[in-house]
Structures are given as C-alpha cells and as structure tokens.
Structure 1
Amino acid sequence: MRGLEQVNMPLFQTKFTADPSPLVVGDTLFLYTSHDASPEDIPDENEKGSAGFFMYDWLLWSTTDMVNWTEHGAVASLKDFPWRSRENGAWAIQTVARNGKYYLYAPLHGHGIGVLVADSPYGPFKDPLGKPLVWDQSNWFDIDPSVYTDDDGQAYMYWGNPHTYWAKLGNDMTSLTSGVTKLPHIPNYQEGPWFYKRHGHYYLGFASTCCPEALGYAMSDSPTGPWEWKGYIMKPTPRDRGNHPGICDYKGHSYVFGQNYDLMHLETFVHHERRSVSATEITYHADGTIEEVPYWLDQQPMKQLHWLNPYQRVEAETMAWGFGLKSAKMGIPNTGVVADMPASTGKRNMYIYDLNDGEYIRLRGVDFKKGAKQFCITAASTGSCAVTLRLDSQDGPVIGTAIIKSTGSVEKYKSFSAKVKDAAGVHDLYLCFEKTQGDTRLDWWEFR
C-alpha cells in the first residue's frame, strides 16, 4: 500500500476546493477554484453537518513548478454581485485574460451568469454591468461558463447543465454579440464545459453524465460545433460522484484539473459536498484525441517542473502538502457569512494558523545547492511553537529547529531564526510543528 506521498493527492489542503479554472500568465499558472465551506464556516448551526453545497466565495492559487502552490485566498465572493438573489451558490467560474484585463465569469445559482473585471489576476474584481450577462429566467440551466477567444479575436462563451449553450462575446468581453444557441445533445454531456482550441482542433471537455460523473470530451472543426463525442479523459468510478474539468498547456506540458472527495475521505466517508481539486498531465495522439488517464489516486504524484529556491522569501502558504492547517488573509476575518465578507480585495498578504503537534508543511524539491547555514521565519504568537526542519520525510534527518516565542499579539510579527547544518543538494523540506501552545501564525520564511 502506497502512502500519501506516493500517490496523486489533491493539490490543496487548507480549504476544500472544486471547479478548477487554470489561467497561464507569463511564467505563472494561476488556478481559480470554487470553495466548499468547512463546517465552521457555515452560518446556520443546523446545516453544519449537512451533505449539501455551501459555497460563498472563489479562491485563487498559483504555481511555477506544478507541485508547490501558493494560496492567495478569496479573490471574489457573492457579495461582489449585489443583484444576486441567494446567499449561497458560488458555483463554477472561469477567469480569462484579454486586452490587459481579467474577466471572471460566474454563475449566480438561479440568477444567471455574471462577469467581474480586474486589472490583475489577483483582483480586485468589480461588476461592470450590475446585472447578469446571461439569464434565461425560465430555468436554472445557466451555470458553468467557459470562455475562449479564438485566433481571429472572436470570443465565445459556452455553458449549461444539462443542456449545452453558446454565444458570441463582444470585444469588451462583457456583452453578447449574438443570440444564445442551444446545441443538440452531446453524448454523455452533463455539465461543466471547458472550451478551448489546440493545434487547430476545438475541444469541449465536460463532466459526463451523472452519477458518477467522469471527465469526457468532444471535438469539432468549428468553434460552434457540431461536436463529436471522443471518449473519456478519466472514466467514471464509484470512488467519485462529481467532476468538473479545467485544461491548459503550461511550460511544454498539458494538464487536466478535476475534483474528488479524496481529501475529505482522510477524515470521513460519510458523504458531504466537500471536494478537492487534483491534476494530472495528459497527452494527445496524432489525430488530436486525448490519452485516457487513470483515477487520480492510481497515478504517481505530479512531476516537478523546476526546483524551489529556498534563498528567497517563501510564503508560509506555499506548500505541496499541509493537511490540518488553515489560512487567511491578514486583516480580513472571513466568517463564511456573505454579509460579513468584504468586497473583492485584491492581493493581500496571508498567514498560516491553527498549528497543532504532528502537523507539517511539506515543500517538494527544495534546492539547497552547496548548503544552508541559517533558517529565518516570520511569525506572530500568543504562545509558542517549535518548528523542526527535516529532510525528505516527516521523520527525516533534522537540519535545525526554530523556536517561535510569544510576540504579545497575533497581529505583531517578529523574525525567529535557527542554525542549519547538513542541508545541501535537492531535498523535500518538512516544517514540522511541535510543542504548540496558544495561537501561532506564520507569514514567510527563507534560508541563508
């Protein structure tokens, strides 16, 4: 039996995530996700143990190596659409870039599809319309938008469950320049379309017919169809019941992102809608069809694209694994209640908290080169915590221990350091937490 570090586990552990939407900007891959609330973030006491969907905001993560991801917190929430009719239902979004702007398309659960605009992938995002971009008030099919701008500059938006719709977008990306077309049923289509073009072929990835949903796809020679079912990217399995694809090319590789319940299953197999995003590399045949991949847990861990440099500021919320830890934006107590949420704030510094004995942050592929001499970490604490640095496993060789002492307040950050020995070459790094007392919050760290 393989352990957690030998299988392809979900990418993020500080929050439950779903509906992945990748966006490549320069050297960085940004991943926008929806957010399944943890029980403590559900305002209704009677619903905290419910199996249903409780979704209030959308999250952002980024990577340059595909294995160590930096969390950026909520980039937008339902509060950014004041015309919405519900306090729940922040479902699947997609964010695209065009003309130096970033456009976030969001379904508002029974109130159509809206769009937010920002000057940065981090936001802040603002609503330029004050109303839905698309809304057929006769049904609730207007969900899961996917937007792609073709080579000729024409942008298209696809959406729909259980039917598939498309329309042309104007150059402003916030208006329609065509009517809404309902496509003939695509075999096995259920929801979550992901529309893109690659090497002259048009693709529509989607969650296939429920239940369980899998990752299927169709191809076309035209951005408007007709679409031909081509098979599964990942077949249905009783280990999963819902899915939603996001697909992109990045640094010479192709990746598919999807969702599962594998993180929740570390704690319970009683079903709740607490999903987590996973990813894997995919390959294409000469005719453009996609090689089917096994279920996430049946695959090897993702391959790292480059080593992590520890001799620079590394945010504490950058990690390959951190199960049991929590994260938040500084100065923003997000309770999960829509009324208490701020409007989209843009990029803000974050911290890691809720540290307990036995928990750790794992960084994959850290290149210490000829050797590190010192470790420095910035933290705030009302108690204390020992951060033991280990190589290659949770029980691996100790290269140093930093003792975080009380700073008098969780708002007052100070630097703590430790001498380091026997840290050279490339290793996985574990920041292991021991002797935790009080509330400790971690901001960033670096080696010297």
Structure 2
Amino acid sequence: MTAFFNPIIKHKYTADPTVISYGDRVYLYTGHDDPPPGVDDYVMNDWCSFSSNDLMNWEEHPTPLKATDFSWASGDAFASNVVCRDHIFHWYVAVSHRSTFGKAIGVAVSDRPTGPFTDAKGSALITGDMLPCPTTEKANLDPSVVMDDIGQAYLFWGNTTCFYAKLKANMMDLDSDIKVVEVPAFSEGAHVFKRNGWYYLMYGYGFPEAVAYAMSRSVHGPWKFKGIVNKVPYNCETNRPAVLDFKGESYFFYHNGAMKNGGSHRRSVCLDFLYYNGDGTIAPIVMTDEGITGNAG
C-alpha cells in the first residue's frame, strides 16, 4: 500500500500555512481546525508550530500561541503570517476582537522561532473602524508581510477587498494610510513575497477558492494579473498558500480536506514543488498525493 506524503501533518488538522527558513531549518506555522464531533464550522483556538531540515520529516513544537494570548481578543485563531527581522520573530494574526466589531489583526513577538510568543502591543494593530471603505465583519483576515530591498515592511490582508499599508520600523504600527489593491475576484488568503525583482501577490480567487496571482515591479503596484496558479483544493472550499525557497528548490504550501473525516472545516497542510518560468511567471502548480517525495525538475 502506497504511503502518501500529503498531507504532511497527519495526526491533527492543520490549515493556513505560513513558513520561514532560519538557519538550516524550515519553520512551519499553521492554524488548527478543532471542531467537536458533529460540528461543521470553523473552530480554531490556537496555532501550531513544526520544523524540519529536509521538508520530509517534521518535528512538532509546543503550542506557541493562542488567540486568547491577546487580552483584547475574544478568540478565533484565523490565518496568520510569521516574518523574521533582526532575529526577532513577528507573528501577524487575525482574531475576533473583544469590544470592536469584527475581526482584527494583532502581532506577537518572540526571540525564538518556536516561541513562546507574546502580544507585542497589548492592543490590535488593525480594527474594522480603521478601514477606508465599507466592509464586512471578516474584512481583517489573513495578514501577510513583505519587505522591500531596503527593509521597509508592508502588510497586506483582507476579505473580499485586499488592503495594504506600510509598517513602521518597529513592525507593530502602521506608517501610512490603508490603501486598496485592485485585483480580480479577490476573496481572501493574501500571500505576498518578493523574488528576483518581482513582487508576487497570491490570493484566494472566487469561491470555492482557487489561487490566483499578480505580479508587480513595485510593492505599490500596478499589479498585473497573471491568472490561476492552483486549482480549488480537494474537498475544501478555501485555499491560503505560502511559498518558500529552500536549498535550491521552490515550494508551495497549501491546505486541503484530504485527511479522514476532513473537509472545509477540518483541513490539512500539504506541500508540492513550485516552478518559475524564465520571465518570472509561475507554472501551474500540480497538487499531488506524493508531494515532494518524487524527483524535482
């Protein structure tokens, strides 16, 4: 019987991957779907942490962060993004605010990639009343941070509308007005990164969510839409990607509903190769059961 590689975490439900390399290891942070039996809804109370030096064998670390570690949050550990700056790890999360309508974005910090992480501000970085246009209560979902060549950081996020803003050097406060990014059929799940002079904006496209992407030479745009790069995942309506270059290869992290009793509210993180064309565009990503156990190239 074939032992499939995907999903890469098989003992619990994981979703919404964010991933970094630090030293000679890769650190994977995920959401944690944990609905009780008979409940078919999003129940997410904490985030998970794993690491690997080969992307094949993953070590789990103690739970590094919970939604209620933010005293101003009422719960709900939605999609997140971890970035490292000056050997400090900044974890941007979406949670439900205790006293302000809707979801909010917070940031936690640690001097170790495995945590523990603590609330950096004692208050939300972004709340619904800060947004420049009418929104839904889920507007502040799925933060993603990218840094330009001089180390200036920018935060992207959103649900139905994609927003972005400049961050101060402390990585904990905004340093600009919040602006709207215009890309087709934006649903949620923004993931922004820079590679070889290009900025890439991946995001959930339509619903159920495929992953589309746009490219720009500037973090401020204009963004040129490049199309669908990843189809709707198996047995799952959502799709939040993460991209990593590690030891000469490029990788695409995502989630699906392939584990036993899985689905849109019991998701599992998967990993496949990602390939770039000569002009910097991305070849269509093939989601496989075998994952990276096959040969690259």
Q: Find the counterpart in structure 2 of residue 27 from structure 1.
A: 24
Given the alignment, which residue of 131, 147, 151 partners 2:123?
131
Is the Cα contact below 8 Å between 1:50 and 1:272 reproduced in 2? no
The percentage of counterpart residues that share the same residue type is 37
Structure 1 unaligned blocks of 5 or more = 40-47, 306-448
Structure 1, residues 391-434: CA drift from partner, whole Å, max 9, x if none? Answer: xxxxxxxxxxxxxxxxxxxxxxxxxxxxxxxxxxxxxxxxxxxx
1:146 to partner: Cα distance: 0.1
1:164 aligned onto 2:190: no
Alignment of 1:380-419 (within 5 A): none
Given the alignment, which residue of 288, 294, 301 partners 2:291?
301
1:286 aligned onto 2:278: yes
1:304 to partner: Cα distance: 8.2
Q: Find the counterpart in structure 2 of residue 91 from structure 1.
A: 78
What's the secondary structure of 2:128's corresponding residue? Answer: coil
Is the Cα contact below 8 Å between 1:65 and 1:304 reproduced in 2? no
Q: Find the counterpart in structure 2 of residue 14 from structure 1.
A: 11
Report how many aligned residue pairs link the two structures. 284
Distance 2:199 2:264 in 1: 35
Structure 1, residues 250-294: CA drift from partner, whole Å, max 9, x if none? Answer: 11111110000001xx3x47x561000001011100110111122
1:74 aligned onto 2:60: no
Q: 1:272 to 1:24 in 2, by over 3 A?
A: closer
1:205 aligned onto 2:202: yes
Distance 2:186 2:236 in 1: 17
Q: 1:234 to 1:4 in 2, by over 3 A?
A: farther
Q: Find the counterpart in structure 1 of residue 225 from structure 2.
A: 229
Q: Find the counterpart in structure 2 of residue 101 from structure 1.
A: 88
1:199 to partner: Cα distance: 0.5
Q: Tell me the amino acid that sits aligned with residue 150 of structure 2.
A: D
Q: Find the counterpart in structure 1 of residue 185 from structure 2.
A: 188
What's the secondary structure of 1:296's corresponding residue? Answer: coil
Q: Provide the alpha-carbon RMSD of the alignment.
A: 1.8
What's the secondary structure of 2:119's corresponding residue? Answer: coil
Structure 2 unaligned blocks of 5 or more = 97-101, 130-134
Given the alignment, which residue of 129, 147, 154 partners 1:149?
147
TM-score with structure 2 setting the length: 0.90
Q: Find the counterpart in structure 1 of residue 254 from structure 2.
A: 258
Distance 1:126 1:281 in 2: 33
Distance 2:238 2:109 in 1: 29
Q: 1:304 to 1:25 in 2, by over 3 A?
A: farther
Is the Cα contact below 8 Å between 2:235 and 2:264 reproduced in 1? no
What's the secondary structure of 2:141's corresponding residue? Answer: coil
Distance 1:301 1:130 in 2: 40
